[in-house]
A and B are shown apart, each in its own frame.
Chain A
Amino acid sequence: MKMRNLATWFAAAALLAGAGTAWAAGGDLGQAEKQATNWTAIIMFAVFVIFTLFITKWAAARTKSAADFYTAGGGITGFQNGLAIAGDYMSAASFLGISAAVMTGGFDGLMYSIGFLVGWPVVTFLLAERLRNLGKFTFADVAAFRFEQTPVRVFAASGTLVVVAFYLIAQMVGAGQLIKLLFGLEYWIAVVVVGALMMIYVLFGGMTATTWVQIIKACLLLGGATFMALMVLWNFGFSPEAMFAKAVEVKTGIATAAGKAPDAAAKEGLSIMAPGGFIKDPISAISFGMALMFGTAGLPHILMRFFTVPNAKEARKSVLWATTWIGYFYLLTFIIGFGAITFVLTNPSFLDAKGGLMGGGNMAAIHLANAVGGNVFLGFISAVAFATILAVVAGLTLSGASAVSHDLYATVFKHGKADSASELKVTRITTVALGIVAVLLGIAFEKQNIAFMVSLAFAIAASANFPVLLMSVLWKDCTTRGAVIGGFLGLISSVGLTIVSPSVWEATLGNPKGSALFPYASPALFSMTIGFVGIWLFSVLDRSARGAKDRAGFLAQQVRSETGIGASSASGH
């Protein structure tokens, strides 16, 4: 495998994992080998699709106004929304990638899970309920609440579209590779199928259909993963120590077979129980941790979900449920990874001639499904993995489309005077356009290394969207000028620093090793600082009349964010 990875401190683990880095919130599954056509998986996936199309039909009948389309009429409960948020976050890449990373690196795999989980409490403590009380359809509603609408909306729509674009490309390429791998379909067929189905869900069913597809998928994924983890634990009499001991034994055996001396082999076996070469330089570690932690609080498709619940209480409950399900899911992937060491690495029928996994390193969970549940369960897990990508892509598209129609069209061009019907029309046109663009980009990027794209999406979300959102909600003296200039500085610096970082400059653009100007794995530590300082500086220096008005508007905004008085109520039904 090539040393092409988005993060140097993830490189060791991901390299071992085989087929490139895998990302909790989406990502690259690397170049996959085409497998034999798997009919069980295809039939199960077809059942899922037919079922979700019925849901879309039901949702379409309920989707009349713009509010129905963007927020499912505000009628989703906290529990349901928690599952949907968890669904947005538990991608196929996280399921396959983290379990593969645990299979290869043991303890190091746990580091991925923790990084992706710790952003949720911050969202809960600082933003969730305030978002619900201030916003209507998009996070720009909140960021622009007391500011001059046009510049802030333009910024927020740019932030949204850039994040969505990178995230979407990563998902589409991941989908194509995964489906080639699991179903034995051609890459372009897979990409077109994902694009077409996603358009149907979003166009006709809006947020209602997207949410329910996400909820169903989350349940299937959690159910399937629970079954696998239980089967693994059952084989060890539900003793984690027995599971770890056997895994260490297997790893030691593999090292011995590779010709290592007994001492060295024993050491290598035990290495899965402790941190290995995961974190090399602390700056990269902190910077990456910041991108993951605060990026979560700036992802537009996640933020949008807070407007689908009726009030602040349900918004809070939904993050608690989401955190619980995501945390539980990461426990499962950890057990699945250790199970794969014992049941996959010791079974010659899952290994190729060189001792690697058939179909690439990310197949650990798929082979384990076969080992513990036979061919039917293998088909089930493959179908769930496909459904997962589909649901995530639908959520992303919806959020991109709403930025164009609600923020740009209705607010910037029509100055808030667009009627619901024409706004919906623009959303639908945008959805089709985004779908076509996503399919074309997915095909164009087939052979490219896109592993950096999800990390870029997180870094941009953390450096542009999150600072503007946080400062506009919590800081009295923030002004339009400060928010827009600081926000764009965060956006530009995060994109710029990523381009000159080793993972893009050297690995993707092919410049010589060591020529990257920015030595660290993630720009977030620097670009977030630039974003926050920019907002602060240009707000403090702002002596304009507009700035005075922005500051004066804080009191009313704060009262509404704390009490919910005047907040958009649930459901227009």
Chain B
Amino acid sequence: MDDDLAARIARNPKYQELKSKRSSFGWLLTILMLVVYYGFVMLVAFNKPFLAQRLGEGVTTVGMPIGFGVILFTVVITGIYVRRANSEFDALADAVVKDALK
């Protein structure tokens, strides 16, 4: 791509919107993932008794749903990003491409 075209696209407000939205959403979710994962690791490192508490009468502990929750969270948060990117971000990107090739 030549620099003139790049500069022209970069001035497009839709491009600016796409860039800032994608970047802030991506970093927000990345930080969320880090907090959840390292939160879990720290819980295991520093508060084992909390995770070993039993849920109700049976042997199932608090740790089990939390552990599975982290796995589920990982898949769901990826899904949330992909959903928004596939609709909103791609629509914006298409609009930018259309404007650029006019």
Please list the residues of chain A having a beta carbon within 8 angstroms of any beta carbon in chain B: 107, 110-111, 113-114, 117-118, 120-122, 124-126, 129, 240-241, 244-245, 248, 270, 273-275, 278-279, 282, 285-286, 289, 293, 312-313, 316-317, 319-320, 323-324, 327, 330-331, 555-556, 558-560, 562-566
Given contacts A125-B81, A559-B6, A563-B15, 7 further A-B contacts (CB under 8 A): A114-B67, A114-B74, A241-B60, A275-B63, A285-B45, A320-B79, A327-B75
Our pick among A245, A320, A331, A564 for the contact of B71 (Cβ within 8 Å) is A331
Interface residues of B in 53-68 (CB under 8 A from A): 58-61, 63-64, 67-68
In the complex, are the beta carbons of B40 and A320 less than 8 A apart? no
CA distance A327 to B42 in the complex (A): 21
Per-residue 0/1 for B66-84: is the Cβ within 8 Å of any A Cβ (1 yes, 0 no)? Answer: 0110111011011101100
| Main SS at interface, chain A | helix
Task: Give the residues in chain A near B68, CB-CB below 8 Å.
Answer: 110, 331
**A387 shortest CB reach to chain B, Å:** 25
Known: A114-B37, A273-B60. A559 touches B15 (CB 8 A): yes
In the complex, are the beta carbons of B10 and A555 less than 8 A apart? yes
**B78 shortest CB reach to chain A, Å:** 5
Interface residues of B in 10-42 (CB under 8 A from A): 10, 15, 18-19, 22, 25-27, 29-30, 33, 37-38, 40-42
Task: Give the residues in chain A near B7, CB-CB below 8 Å.
Answer: 555
CA distance A111 to B43 in the complex (A): 12
Task: Give the residues in chain B near A240, CB-CB below 8 Å.
Answer: 60, 64
In the complex, are the beta carbons of B67 and A107 less than 8 A apart? yes
Task: Give the residues in chain B near A113, CB-CB below 8 Å.
Answer: 71
CA distance A559 to B2 in the complex (A): 11
In the complex, are the beta carbons of B78 and A121 less than 8 A apart? yes
Our pick among A117, A279, A562 for the contact of B19 (Cβ within 8 Å) is A562
Our pick among B63, B64, B81 for the contact of A121 (Cβ within 8 Å) is B81
Q: Most chain-B Cβ atoms within 10 A of its Cβ — which of A245, A270, A273, A330?
A: A273
B90 close to chain A: CB less than 8 A: yes
In the complex, are the beta carbons of A122 and B30 less than 8 A apart? yes
In the complex, are the beta carbons of A316 and B10 less than 8 A apart? no
Task: Give the residues in chain B near A560, CB-CB below 8 Å.
Answer: 1, 6
Task: Give the residues in chain A near B93, CB-CB below 8 Å.
Answer: 562-564
In the complex, are the beta carbons of A273 and B79 less than 8 A apart? no
**B94 shortest CB reach to chain A, Å:** 9
A-B contact pairs, 9 of them (CB 8 A): A114-B71, A125-B29, A125-B33, A245-B58, A273-B64, A278-B44, A313-B85, A556-B6, A565-B100
Please list the residues of chain B having a beta carbon within 8 angstroms of any beta carbon in chain A: 1-3, 5-7, 9-10, 15, 18-19, 22, 25-27, 29-30, 33, 37-38, 40-42, 44-46, 48, 51-52, 58-61, 63-64, 67-68, 70-72, 74-75, 77-79, 81-82, 85-86, 90, 93, 96-97, 100
Q: Most chain-A Cβ atoms within 10 A of its Cβ — which of B38, B58, B71?
A: B71
Our pick among B59, B75, B86 for the contact of A270 (Cβ within 8 Å) is B59
Q: Count how many pairs of residues, one from A and one from B, have CB atoms less than 8 Å apart in the complex.
A: 159
Our pick among A118, A126, A313, A555 for the contact of B3 (Cβ within 8 Å) is A555
In the complex, are the beta carbons of B51 and A275 less than 8 A apart? yes
Known: A110-B67, A274-B52. A285 touches B81 (CB 8 A): no
CA distance A108 to B72 in the complex (A): 18
Nearest B residue to A325 by beta-carbon distance? B75
CA distance A282 to B10 in the complex (A): 44
**A118 shortest CB reach to chain B, Å:** 5
In the complex, are the beta carbons of B74 and A248 less than 8 A apart? no
Task: Give the residues in chain A near B48, CB-CB below 8 Å.
Answer: 274-275
CA distance A563 to B19 in the complex (A): 9
Our pick among B6, B29, B33 for the contact of A555 (Cβ within 8 Å) is B6
CA distance A286 to B79 in the complex (A): 26
CA distance A107 to B50 in the complex (A): 14
Nearest B residue to A271 by beta-carbon distance? B52
**A97 shortest CB reach to chain B, Å:** 17
Task: Give the residues in chain B near A564, CB-CB below 8 Å.
Answer: 93, 97
CA distance A107 to B51 in the complex (A): 10
In the complex, are the beta carbons of B18 and A244 less than 8 A apart? no
Task: Give the residues in chain B near A330, CB-CB below 8 Å.
Answer: 71
Task: Give the residues in chain B near A313, CB-CB below 8 Å.
Answer: 85-86, 90
Task: Give the residues in chain B near A120, CB-CB below 8 Å.
Answer: 74, 78
In the complex, are the beta carbons of B74 and A117 less than 8 A apart? yes
Our pick among B26, B60, B72, B74 for the contact of A126 (Cβ within 8 Å) is B26
CA distance A291 to B77 in the complex (A): 21
CA distance A279 to B41 in the complex (A): 8
Q: Most chain-A Cβ atoms within 10 A of its Cβ — which of B3, B68, B72, B100?
A: B68
Our pick among A118, A122, A316 for the contact of B82 (Cβ within 8 Å) is A316
Task: Give the residues in chain A near B75, CB-CB below 8 Å.
Answer: 323-324, 327
Task: Give the residues in chain A near B37, CB-CB below 8 Å.
Answer: 114, 118, 289, 293
In the complex, are the beta carbons of B74 and A124 less than 8 A apart? no
In the complex, are the beta carbons of A117 and B71 less than 8 A apart? yes
CA distance A563 to B96 in the complex (A): 7
Q: Most chain-A Cβ atoms within 10 A of its Cβ — which of B37, B44, B64, B97?
A: B44
In the complex, are the beta carbons of A241 and B52 less than 8 A apart? no
**B2 shortest CB reach to chain A, Å:** 8
CA distance A117 to B36 in the complex (A): 13
CA distance A560 to B85 in the complex (A): 16
**A342 shortest CB reach to chain B, Å:** 13
**B66 shortest CB reach to chain A, Å:** 10
Our pick among A274, A282, A562 for the contact of B18 (Cβ within 8 Å) is A562
**B3 shortest CB reach to chain A, Å:** 6
Nearest A residue to B68 by beta-carbon distance? A331
CA distance A56 to B71 in the complex (A): 35
CA distance A117 to B58 in the complex (A): 29
